[in-house]
Amino acid sequence: MSAAIPPWLDRLFVGRRRALPRTARPPVLIRLRRALGRLPAAAPAAVLLPLATILVLAGITHLVSVLAMPTLAERSAYQRLSDIARPNTLTFLPDASPSGMVLPMTDPAFVSAVCLYDLGDHPLRVRVPATADYTSVSFYTSRGVAFYALSDQAAGRVIELDLLSPAQRAALPEDEEITAADRLVVESPSLRGVVLVRAYARYNDTRPAIRRQLEAASCMPS
């Protein structure tokens, strides 16, 4: 007595049974149906479990590779920027173009400047005037991990804050009141990193004026 055909397998041949009478079915199809009919009813689970395992392992591998990229890269963004910028000094980046850019995936619609900070001796005070359309300040560790960002839409006409290391933040007097109204303090998880200043240029002919506005920005020890 032959084994019962699992329902999931039998459904695969429903269309075939309706399309062809039993006597007209190709011998190969009949033999294939009989061979597959010997498989247990749990065959789909036996196939899906290894497939799910492969997908999970692939996802973990992808996540680990993405997180390890800043560490395994030959030269990080901080190292590349150190070739053109001095610590604790605002430096404008060349306009991004298809032929080349200092930082990958730089938006050519923005005027960009960077400040390599080093909190080894003193905290850093950052002050950036807002431009006509949009201005933002982002903070990254030396490994390229973003940890804070602020735009003129939240800060107002001037983006101003103090960047401190964990030790410098802990050394602040306990009775010193720090509020967003008079002084914004940001704690950096690393002693070195990058401050990225970006201002949107709606038209190409407005880039020189926006650049002149950003020249009033400062990034220096406090």
Q: Domain coordinates of the chain in residue numbers?
A: 7-72, 77-221
Pair 197, 111: CB distance under 8 Å: no
**Closest by Cα among 143, 137, 148, 154 to 198:** 137
Q: What is the full per-residue pLDDT of the chain (222 aa) written as tens digits?
A: 445 555 554 554 454 445 445 555 556 556 656 655 655 555 566 666 777 788 888 888 888 777 766 555 556 778 888 888 888 899 998 887 766 677 777 888 999 999 999 999 999 999 999 998 999 999 999 988 999 999 998 888 899 999 999 999 888 876 555 544 456 899 999 999 999 999 999 998 999 999 999 999 999 998
CATH class of the domain comprising 77-221: mainly beta
pTM: 0.63
